[in-house]
Amino acid sequence: MTIHRFELAGIPIPIEAGSAFAQHAYRQATRQTDLLMADNTIRRQIYAGSQNKLLVELSATDMPAPAGLASLDPAQSYTLRCGAPRTLAGLTHVIALPTARRTDAGYEPRGWAVVNGRRVLTPCNVAADTATLDAVTGASGYGVDYYPEIAGLVDFEDTANGGQARYAWRLTVREA
C-alpha cells in the first residue's frame, strides 16, 4: 500500500494514519473584486491570469513542522506535489484532466461512476490530459480523482511552545 504524501521543493510532508497531520484544503485562487455600480447592480471583475488556479493549504497541530519548510524563500516559486486527491466530476465518461497533476507511480488518476447514489470504481485510461472511463450501466455520472502538482508561491507560519511540546504550523501554496 502506498503511503501518500505531500512534497514541497523535495521536502516530504507525510500523511500517515494516526499522525497529527490535521487538514488539507484545495480552493480556487481566483483573484476578483465585486463592484457596486451606480445603477445598484453588482458586477464581478476577475483579474486576468487568475482563473483556474489552485490554493492549497496544509496545517498540523501537535507535530513539529517538517525540517526545511521554514527556510523556503517566500519570493521563490516551488513545486508542490500533492498527496491527497482532488475530484473532477461530469455527466459523461470522458473527463478533461489538468496538465498540472502527478504522474508518478501510486498517484495515477482513478475513475469512478455514480450508480444508485454510490461511487463504483471503474477502469480509467488516460491519454494526454483526457481520462476515458469504462461506461457503467445505470451510471448517472462519472468522476476522476487525481493528485495535483503545482508550482506556486509559499507562505509558511509556525508556532512552538517547546516547554509544553506544543506545535502548530500552516503552509499555503498559491499556484503561479
Q: What does residue 135 show for φ and ψ, rounded to 5 degrees?
A: -65, 140
Do residues 109 and 131 share a domain?
A: yes
Do residues 123 and 74 share a domain?
A: no
Do residues 50 and 131 share a domain?
A: no
Asked if residue 1 has pLDDT above 80, the reply is no
- Helix H or strand E segment including 88: strand 86-90
Q: Provide the edge-to-edge strand list for the sheet that holds 166-175.
A: 11-14, 5-8, 77-81, 149-161, 166-175, 54-61, 21-28
Do residues 56 and 80 share a domain?
A: yes
Do residues 60 and 107 share a domain?
A: no
Do residues 13 and 77 share a domain?
A: yes
Q: Show the cell assigned to 99.
A: 496538465
- Tens digit of pLDDT for each residue in 123-176? 999 999 999 999 999 999 999 999 999 999 999 998 877 677 678 889 999 998
Do residues 24 and 66 share a domain?
A: yes
Is 38 contained in some domain?
Answer: no
Question: How far is 15 from 29, CA to CA, in rounded Å?
Answer: 24
We report the CATH number of the domain holding residue 71 as 2.40.30
Is 36 contained in some domain?
Answer: no
Give the count of alpha carbons within 13 A of 101, CB side only.
Answer: 25
- Mean pLDDT of all residues in the chain? 88
Query: How much is the pLDDT for 5?
Result: 84
Distance of CA 119 to the CA centre of its chain: 20
Asked if residue 21 has pLDDT above 60, the reply is no
- Domain containing 106: what range? 86-146
- Tens digit of pLDDT for each residue in 78-88? 999 999 899 99
pTM: 0.83
Do residues 68 and 50 share a domain?
A: yes
Do residues 16 and 78 share a domain?
A: yes
